[in-house]
């Protein structure tokens, strides 16, 4: 399938968010990276080096999972093995993580394309110096010792009980969680692209995401401090459960919608999870407790070009 990148110029968008419930001696600058999809990043890195944000937030889809070797042949009902390491075989993604970590503290949440990441990939991410937030949160500024997960083999580390601290968490995409659940139920399929059984139409139309880690999300919401959430899917803000706009997160950062692919008068035409004329394809949106900022993304993976919708690097000034 041909990949189009008709306009690869880079838009830089800035937002200033003022919150009375966060204690900052100076303005905190956040660079939001989303949907790079293993593409060249020279312009992005040049901007990061020039501006030196206080932290870099990667809101998923750093890799381009669905074009990897190992996709099943649906016409012949055949399966082939997926790569043992997406990052080791990536053209740009692994090096980009290393470059980001050298500029500023970097936090990485998992989007739907990250379902292909293997145990080896997670080790490679750890070695780059990037903080992986896989249904986990950390206090900013962070060290690896204070990343706290709600579940898993690693015992949670209790963070200081301070109301003026800043926490950043990553809600792992339901696509990643769905694959993990599939492998638990079908261990012989580990390393293969799964043939998911067809779902009835009423399940396809449901607005819930049962594969998300709601227990972790609730635990993160209950923490004291100003909470920043990396959530790849902006449709979770109001359109779908979880309704993040009603939860106590001061700032939520997303991507996934690719700006709606074609933008007319500032509005996108289509987005996965939102359908035609989606609302959350870019910009900032206020909720009950905080703000959602949606990046239009940094690459194109659709079989048709982006129009009126250049790749976007976002800077957020929190004060």
CA nearest neighbour of 250 among 149, 164, 173: 164
pLDDT at 4 over 90: no
Task: Show Cβ contacts of residue 282 under 8 Å, excluding neighbours closer than 6 positions.
Answer: 257, 259, 260, 263, 266, 268, 294, 295, 296, 312
Cα-based torsion angle of the residue sequence 18, 20, 22, 27 in order, rounded to the nearest 10 degrees: 30
Task: Show Cβ contacts of residue 230 under 8 Å, excluding neighbours closer than 6 positions.
Answer: 57, 58, 59, 60, 107, 108, 109, 133, 168, 169, 170, 171, 253
Q: SS3 for 247?
A: coil
pLDDT band for position 136 (cuts 50, 70, 90): very high
Give me the domains of the chain, ranges plus CATH numbers. 11-318 (3.60.21)
For the chain, the average pLDDT equals 83
The pLDDT tens digits for 221-230 are: 999 999 999 9
The pLDDT tens digits for 268-283 are: 888 888 888 889 999 9
pLDDT at 153 over 50: no
The pLDDT tens digits for 77-130 are: 666 677 788 899 889 999 999 999 999 999 999 999 998 898 999 999 999 999
- Cβ 284 vs Cβ 291: under 8 Å: yes
Beta strands 28-33 and 312-318: pairing type? antiparallel
- Cβ 13 vs Cβ 274: under 8 Å: no
Give me the sign of the Cα torsion angle 252, 212, 171, 91. Answer: negative
């Amino acid at each position: 399938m041909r990949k189009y990148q008709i306009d690869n110029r880079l838009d830089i968008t800035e937002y200033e968010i003022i919150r009375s419930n966060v204690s900052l001696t100076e303005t905190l600058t956040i660079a939001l990276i989303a949907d790079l999809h293993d593409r060249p990043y020279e312009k992005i890195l040049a901007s990061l080096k020039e501006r030196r944000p206080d932290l870099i937030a990667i809101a998923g889809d750093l890799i381009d999972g669905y074009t990897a070797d190992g996709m099943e042949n649906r016409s012949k009902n055949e399966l082939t093995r997926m790569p043992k390491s997406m990052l080791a075989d990536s053209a740009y993604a692994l090096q980009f993580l290393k470059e980001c970590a050298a500029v500023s503290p970097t936090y990485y949440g998992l989007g739907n394309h990250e379902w292909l990441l293997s145990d080896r990939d997670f080790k490679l991410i750890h070695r780059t110096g990037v903080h992986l937030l896989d249904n986990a949160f950390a206090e900013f500024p962070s060290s690896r010792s204070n990343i706290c997960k709600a579940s898993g083999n690693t015992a949670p580390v209790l963070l200081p009980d301070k109301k003026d601290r800043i926490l950043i968490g990553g809600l792992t995409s339901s696509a990643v969680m769905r694959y993990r659940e599939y492998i638990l139920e079908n261990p012989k399929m580990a390393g293969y692209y799964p043939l998911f059984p067809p779902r009835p139409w009423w399940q396809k139309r449901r607005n819930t995401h049962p594969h998300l880690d709601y227990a972790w999300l609730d635990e993160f919401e209950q923490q004291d401090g100003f909470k920043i959430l990396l959530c790849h899917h902006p449709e979770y803000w109001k359109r779908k459960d979880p309704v993040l706009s009603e939860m106590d997160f001061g700032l939520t950062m997303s991507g996934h919608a690719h700006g709606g692919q074609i933008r007319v008068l500032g509005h996108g035409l289509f987005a996965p999870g939102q359908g035609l004329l989606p609302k959350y394809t870019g910009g900032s949106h206020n909720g009950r407790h905080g703000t959602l900022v949606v990046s239009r993304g940094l690459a194109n993976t659709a079989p048709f070009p982006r129009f009126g919708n250049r790749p976007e690097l976002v800077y957020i000034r929190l004060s």
